[in-house]
Structure 1
């Protein structure tokens, strides 16, 4: 493996679940094998922004949260462009990129501090280390993580996820012991009820994922996860011409959202039928129906706000009637 290959590693979990400590272990244990770059959301994003999403006080605040997160993704996009060798700018140059118009001054300044220092590191003589971009964030919605899968596809690098499993009560307890950076307890509890942990059994794009607790973290297992992702980079979609790109932008219309809604309703019906056939009790069926309905509403809301984007190349007309259509497969991957 060469220094221009690598992967994205999403480290997700509840606040105070031990993500930062685990990432420090990864840096210490694997720094001789990989060029590790940590993108820490807590450092880049104002502390009250995450709470905006949890409390959902208004559409305006949700849009502000979306904007911050989109800017971070765009910064990582630029970073990947240089590290993966797809950029015309040398990754050994400190001033590797100019500030994107859509990224705020404050965020770019913070990001560039980390960016420049990492790119300035020298590769040890006789060694060629693949890079690993670690995304340190709660990432409790699957759609959040899917944005980085799309980046991995764009830059033809690997994609992997490390989920730090932690009970709500443990997270609350550990959060209370923090000297600084405590998170509102209600935020932790609300996030726990909404958390969508990686599931490689039902979501093929999450196939390189690992679940562990902070007490059972084994560097050897994490090394295998990273190597497997690097050796299996995400395959790019077919290159689109200008007209196809314009068509793809039109997919985010009301027609596309309507088709997505129809697909979500079908997926819910399938899960309910399967649960009923397996003998699930009436009370559990009611609970399941409520949870699935809430999930459907959230996905549709994310689509309307642009949090979930549809980068498809085909018309969505009647997509809900074709399980093999791009839209149907996309919605199924987000819903799973």
Structure 2
């Protein structure tokens, strides 16, 4: 399989200018409005091909058994990973200049919404090849610089890191835009929506959200925070410069070297295992304290403690063995990555018990 640079050079065109932009922030921070305005400006003023992939639109509730139900956190995680695989299939088609194939395993409703999303933005044709599960790219998608803007909360840095990994895999540009909006404003806007989220969900996300931190994570160095609702419909020179820089300086492609990876994993695991153990213990202890403050019933407290300690044990074993059952990245080199992933899995457990208060 060719990476982005190899494919472009093979056609004698030089590398394609392709980029992924992660748009993150709390629900109702104004991300979708911002994404539409930015997309329009980039098309009109820069002549770029732009695709906005709004996760809430492409991962609908319609395929659930109960229309009024919401997916469990574990379901959302699987759906997010599936959607990222769809995006990878599209990028592969663009890189190699060929029709986009459909993944063999897919959620039909979500896949159809993804295809519609790309067609509506002039990136895919309404072609006869659809019967063969292939989709033709438009001239716009093939001939112009292309930016995909992924619009979602992305409140854990591990969620954003998955997108960065995809950019690194194919030597794509990568950047992040964080819409900083007060919790009170988000709750007020959310209340005005036809299908509003529970206010508690936004408050919980506000406590958990991990803003881009370039000083701590080198891979987040191309990040920009924009105040919402202060932003205007016109992208600032600083934002345009961020996008241009990302396109001109794609993430360096890293060849797979299994032997080196294993050596690095052993060294890394040895160094962080003790630190991870101590940190996860503190997280479990703090979570149990919060559960007691929330007046979770004693029997449920016992079950919660058992599940959290089991998760901690499995996480540490994962670090020792390198099984990557929980860690979604290829190689964990920072304790913050481990902690973020643990928080994500812990949230799936905690929700079952705190909701029973």
- Answer whether TM exceeds 0.5 for this pair: yes
Q: Is the 8 A contact 2:54 2:150 kept in 1?
A: yes
Q: Is the 8 A contact 1:2 1:128 kept in 2?
A: no
2:214 to 200, 204, 207: 200
SS at match of 2:153: coil
Q: Structure 1, residues 4-62: CA drift from partner, whole Å, max 9, x if none?
A: 3121101111111100111111012111322110111111113599xxxxxxx9xx944
Equivalent residue, structure 1, for 2:351: none
Equivalent residue, structure 2, for 1:54: none
Structure 2 distance, partners of 1:159, 1:186, is: 32
Equivalent residue, structure 2, for 1:118: 123
Seen in structure 2, the aligned counterparts of structure 1 residues 104 and 268 have a Cα distance that, compared at 3 Å, is: closer
SS at match of 1:118: coil
SS at match of 1:119: coil
1:170 Cα deviation after fit: 0.6
Structure 1 runs (4+) greater than 4 angstroms displaced: 256-261, 265-269, 297-307, 332-336
1:188 Cα deviation after fit: 0.5
Seen in structure 2, the aligned counterparts of structure 1 residues 115 and 44 have a Cα distance that, compared at 3 Å, is: same
Pair 1:229 & 2:246 matched: yes
Pair 1:64 & 2:75 matched: yes
Seen in structure 2, the aligned counterparts of structure 1 residues 211 and 62 have a Cα distance that, compared at 3 Å, is: same
SS at match of 1:236: coil
1:162 to 177, 201, 204: 177
Seen in structure 2, the aligned counterparts of structure 1 residues 152 and 307 have a Cα distance that, compared at 3 Å, is: farther
Structure 2 distance, partners of 1:154, 1:290, is: 37
Seen in structure 2, the aligned counterparts of structure 1 residues 5 and 307 have a Cα distance that, compared at 3 Å, is: farther
1:174 to 175, 189, 193: 189
Structure 2 distance, partners of 1:300, 1:221, is: 42
1:309 to 309, 313, 328: 328
Seen in structure 2, the aligned counterparts of structure 1 residues 199 and 300 have a Cα distance that, compared at 3 Å, is: farther
2:37 to 25, 30, 37: 25
Q: Output the TM-score relative to the length of structure 1.
A: 0.69
Structure 2 distance, partners of 1:128, 1:100, is: 24
Equivalent residue, structure 2, for 1:148: 163
1:109 Cα deviation after fit: 1.2
Q: Is the 8 A contact 1:257 1:300 kept in 2?
A: no
1:335 Cα deviation after fit: 5.0
1:72 Cα deviation after fit: 0.5
Pair 1:211 & 2:225 matched: yes
Seen in structure 2, the aligned counterparts of structure 1 residues 263 and 47 have a Cα distance that, compared at 3 Å, is: farther
1:259 Cα deviation after fit: 7.3
Equivalent residue, structure 2, for 1:12: 24
Structure 1 distance, partners of 2:58, 2:109, is: 9
Seen in structure 2, the aligned counterparts of structure 1 residues 235 and 263 have a Cα distance that, compared at 3 Å, is: farther
Structure 1: gaps (5+ residues): 50-56, 270-285, 313-326
